[in-house]
Amino acid sequence: MIVVRVVCAVVALVLLTAVAERMLPLRAVERDRWEWGHRPRGTFPGIDTVGVRQVGAFGVTGILTGYLLAGIPGAVVTGVLVAALRWVAGVRHARRLPRMLDDGITRAMFSASPMLFDSESAANIYAAGWLRNATVRARPVRGPVLPTVMVRRICRRSYIPALLAVVTLLGIVAAPGSAPVTRTVVLVLWAVLASAAWRATALGVPGETLWRWAVLGVLTVAGVGAQWLLGVPASPLVFAVLAALAIVSGALHRGRPRTNDDFTVIEDGITGGVPVGMLGYWCAGWIAVIPAVLAAVLAA
């Protein structure tokens, strides 16, 4: 069992590193910072504080993963290895200014999109940033047009299936130590990523609703099936219903168009203020947590 968990951890962390490097390149510089900062001083940009924080975050992820696998010694070794992996993935290319400026645009797109408070614009920016340097070839459509186009849109946003795989694999790693918490987190993250797939299947054409539900149904079945990889639940039928409800409700609530223009901050005297509108935007689909928790409790 430990061998399987180690393999899952390695595959998950490599996948996560690849996705992070494509979304948030480590060696990148924004054009204005180059023109008004590095260029007048005659310096060449290197790894900035954003990149250092990213390496640190991967190191922490490695520490947690290693601790789940082999305690404190595993945490130290895995933390160093994962941080080194992220560093190597970011600096493997030669330092060329055009590439760093191009990567700076990509990183700025992904970094700014969560603060737009417009789900459709943010999703479009994610897709555009992911496909900036990708080769997209025209292929003939075989079979029904709508489901084929929907599946292609999800595949072109390959960060969605990649992150689904990462969540499931890390769930397998963490399940033996904290099964209920792990099941809840995996279900909620599946719901969040299913909402991205639900949004990607929105074509705005007549007759798409049935096919969109079919795609969501496949993702839901896959998400419920992935829970069996974390261990067989005690009440399989009830668990499957609650898990499916968590994924579908989260996908539908979070996947519908939403905006926020309420930036009111309520002072609580402790934390310095609660941004109610922003929290409501970021936590859309929170209702999925309830069936996810119930499913995890019943699975124990």
Using one digit for the tens of pLDDT, what is the confidence trace for 53-87? 999 999 999 999 999 998 898 899 999 999 999 99
Q: Are residues 199 and 264 in the same domain?
A: yes
Mean pLDDT across the stretch 20-31? 89
Is 48 exposed, middle or buried (CB count within 10 Å of its CB: 0-12, 13-18, 19+)? Answer: middle
Write the CA distances from 24 to 61, 83, 91, 93, 294, integer angstroms. Answer: 17, 15, 13, 15, 35
Cβ atoms of residues 244 and 250 within 8 Å: no
Mean pLDDT across the stretch 259-281? 77
- 143 falls in which pLDDT band (50, 70, 90)? low
Phi/psi at 80 (nearest 5 deg)? Answer: -65, -45
Q: Are residues 98 and 166 in the same domain?
A: no
- 39 falls in which pLDDT band (50, 70, 90)? confident
Number of residues that make up the chain: 300
Among 115, 134, 159, the domain-final residue is: 115
Residue 134 lies in a domain: no
Among 124-133, 164-173, 244-253, the minimum mean pLDDT is found in 124-133
Residue 278's domain comprises 149-300
Beta strands in the chain (DSSP E): 265-266, 274-275
Q: Are residues 39 and 184 in the same domain?
A: no
Residue 132 lies in a domain: no
Question: What is the pLDDT at residue 207?
Answer: 86
Phi/psi at 138 (nearest 5 deg)? Answer: -75, 130
Phi/psi at 259 (nearest 5 deg)? Answer: -135, 170
Question: What is the pLDDT at residue 268?
Answer: 67
Exposure class string for 182-191: b at 16+ Cβ within 10 A, else e: bbbbbbbbbb
Is 288 exposed, middle or buried (CB count within 10 Å of its CB: 0-12, 13-18, 19+)? Answer: buried
Tell whether the model's pLDDT for residue 283 goes beyond 90: no
Q: Are residues 158 and 111 in the same domain?
A: no
Q: Are residues 271 and 171 in the same domain?
A: yes
Closest among 64, 61, 65, 73 to 6, alpha carbons compared: 65
Q: Are residues 40 and 160 in the same domain?
A: no
Q: Are residues 106 and 154 in the same domain?
A: no
Residue 34 lies in a domain: yes
Residue type present at position 16? L
Exposure class string for 222-236: b at 16+ Cβ within 10 A, else e: ebbebbeebeebeee
Among 99, 115, 131, the domain-final residue is: 115
Residue 127 lies in a domain: no
Listed in sequence order, the residues at least 6 apart from 5 whose beta carbon sits closer than 8 Å to its beta carbon are: 69, 172, 173, 176
Is 119 exposed, middle or buried (CB count within 10 Å of its CB: 0-12, 13-18, 19+)? Answer: buried
Cβ atoms of residues 145 and 153 within 8 Å: no
Q: Are residues 1 and 63 in the same domain?
A: yes
Q: Are residues 45 and 95 in the same domain?
A: yes
Q: Are residues 219 and 283 in the same domain?
A: yes
Q: Are residues 2 and 106 in the same domain?
A: yes
Residue 293 lies in a domain: yes
Closest among 250, 238, 235, 251 to 290, alpha carbons compared: 250
Q: What is the pTM of this model?
A: 0.90
Our count of domains for the chain comes to 2
Residue 47 lies in a domain: yes
Q: Are residues 166 and 296 in the same domain?
A: yes
pLDDT, tens digit, for every residue of 221-248? 999 999 999 988 888 999 999 999 999 9
pLDDT, tens digit, for every residue of 96-131? 888 888 888 888 888 888 788 888 888 988 988 898
Listed in sequence order, the residues at least 6 apart from 35 whose beta carbon sits closer than 8 Å to its beta carbon are: none
Tell whether the model's pLDDT for residue 43 goes beyond 90: no
Residue 103 CA to residue 107 CA, distance in Å, equals 6
Closest among 29, 30, 47 to 87, alpha carbons compared: 47
